Amino acid sequence: MKIISWNVNGIRAVQTKGFRDTLTQLDADCILLQETKAQDDQVDKALENLDHYHIYSNSAERKGYSGVALLTRQQPLRVIHDMGIDEHDREGRVIVAEFDKFFLLNVYVPNSGDQLVRLDYRQTWDLELLAYMQSLQAQKPLIACGDFNVAHQAIDIARPKANYNKSAGYTQTEIDGFSRFVEAGLIDSFRHFHPETVAYSWWSYRANAREKNIGWRIDYVLTSRSLLGQVKDSFILPDILGSDHCPVGLGIEI
């Protein structure tokens, strides 16, 4: 099974950038999209006539903001929207598909914002997400994919010293939040298979950052430890354009 996760930074905008051809090229069994910036009916329209995929989405109450979508060739046993916590469930950030042998979670973690205005909220969110993922893992193994909005280690960010505790996505609070996911038995699959590889999944649109490869690795595929022996590879696809993020993914026998 091939799983792809991609923050598209607007599903309607990416339509004009060869998105459908890219999906064909990726040829994935499951495609998890973040930051769709669209309501459910707009997501359906953007993805209509995609053969062989069941399509599910979770949109924010606020139009043109946040949102996640899931495309899967195999029909899930069920699909769960949100974490069941009203404070967090208005922004369309979580959708989960349950399959026979595992849960597949798609998440768009909140950005802590300019001047870190949402950092306190982000800390609460990370703890609630951890509890939610643990509740899923207690039932069956979990694959959790998405934009986690944090560079976990110095190797995951081009300029760690300049950004540490100053920029959203590289504060100790956010790093600690992600570390708790790992401590709970979720493996950062890319770093597991590529412990010393410098690779990024997001680049600012400013100052030709992508061309200069001044980036951040903030998109992840996490897997329950029990699945690790079935994972064949975890990868990042920086040459695929259309968004300020690139796709990340996983190959697994399951």
Task: Choose, from 56, 126, 147, 200, the residue flagged as catalytic.
Answer: 147
**Residue 182, pLDDT score:** 98
Q: Which CATH class is domain 2-252?
A: alpha beta
Whole-number Å distance between alpha carbons of 131 and 200: 28
Beta carbons of 83 and 94 less than 8 angstroms apart: yes
Contacts of 86 (CB under 8 A, 6+ apart): none
Whether residue 192 contacts residue 214, with contact meaning beta carbons closer than 8 Å, is answered with: no
Judge whether 108 counts as a catalytic residue.
Answer: yes
Map residue 217 onto helix, strand or coil. Answer: coil
Residue-level pLDDT at 49: 85
How far is Cα 201 from Cα 152, in angstroms, rounded to an integer? 13
Q: Residue 172, Cβ neighbours under 10 Å: how many?
A: 10
DSSP H helices, 27-146, are 40-46, 119-137
Domain boundaries, the chain: 2-252
Average pLDDT, 10 consecutive residues per value, the chain (254 residues) = 98 93 95 98 91 94 96 98 92 98 99 97 98 98 99 99 98 99 98 98 96 98 98 98 98 97
Is 147 one of the catalytic residues? yes
Task: Give this prediction's pTM.
Answer: 0.97
Summarised one tens digit per residue, pLDDT across range 131-183 is: 999 999 999 999 999 999 999 999 999 999 999 999 999 999 999 999 999 99
